Amino acid sequence: MLFLALSILLSVLLLLNFRLFPRYNVNTFQAIVFNYPVCFLTGFLLLPSGQSFAIDFGQTWTWLSLGLGVGFIITFLLSGASTQRTGITTTSLANNLSLVIPVCFSLFVFQTGGKTFDALNYTGLILAVVAVGLSTFKKERTSSNQRLGANVLLPVSVFLLYGSTNTLINYINLRYIPSADKTVVVTLTMVLGAIVAGLLMLAIRLIQGKETIQARSFIAAFTLGVPNFLSFYTLLLALSQFGGNGAFVYPLYNIGVILVAALTAALFFQEQLTTANKIGLALAVLAIGLISWQELSALAGYR
């Protein structure tokens, strides 16, 4: 459970970084691009003794990992924009309710978890979708429908992309990571894909004159990159610890992040939630509980 708890705290720390970047005039795009080399360095330092990092393009998992890295940076950019426009709570809800996607794949496609969905589980899936809608609902006084639409589309995009990347993470973990000591190597390959994609996007923007490198972006890259890698690394370790059972790990992870993020946003940023948002928050916790009630009961010693 230690790895799972660490992953929750580190994930909330990522959202805090995004929330604070505008206050310190940090270029979020550059911070995200430069955070991935920091991620790589962090992972390289965590390589087990006697193990080296090398790219084997003859392996299927190499290409899957590189592609996943591209998905990482796109999802991360959307998450940063969503946090700054709609707040920590809404983004964390959209992010963590995306568990319905890997949970469904884990149970119905990968067939891990060893259980059959019952009426409560299906009710939880439906409530999760409703919770996403309520959590992203904002009554904004603006004459721009485009702005309002973007503020809704951002967390919805985060929901879909996080769900897709987490599903692929679980698939790679199940099929291509034979033991926990290989986790760092696979993770570094994913990060390498993000580095290539990020630097390419930055180079294009520099050539177009849309970006100017800022020194503070390098500082922000460290405050973002270290917890970014460690949050993902500890989540993979938690999955390995529980036999790749995404139906068990993801619900607990998502409940924790939603609650800790909401508490943090209320205490430190005084984020105001509408009644609909509060209902969405409550439904989110209820939905995750219903989706995984069997595993939670087993964890509590009732089964």
Q: Give the model's confidence band at 143: pLDDT under 50 very low, under 70 low, under 90 confident, else very high.
A: very low
Residue 21: what pLDDT?
A: 92
For residue 111, pLDDT over 60 is answered with: yes
Would you list the domain boundaries of the chain? Answer: 2-299
Rounded CA-CA distance 248/242 in Å is 8
Three-state SS letters, 79-111: HHHHHHHHCHHHHHHHHHHHHHHHHHHHHHHCC
**Average pLDDT along the chain:** 81
Residue 142: what pLDDT?
A: 44
Q: Highest-confidence range of 9-23, 174-188, 261-275, 285-299, by mean pLDDT?
A: 9-23
Rounded CA-CA distance 4/6 in Å is 5
Q: Give the model's confidence band at 173: pLDDT under 50 very low, under 70 low, under 90 confident, else very high.
A: confident
pTM over 0.85? The answer is no
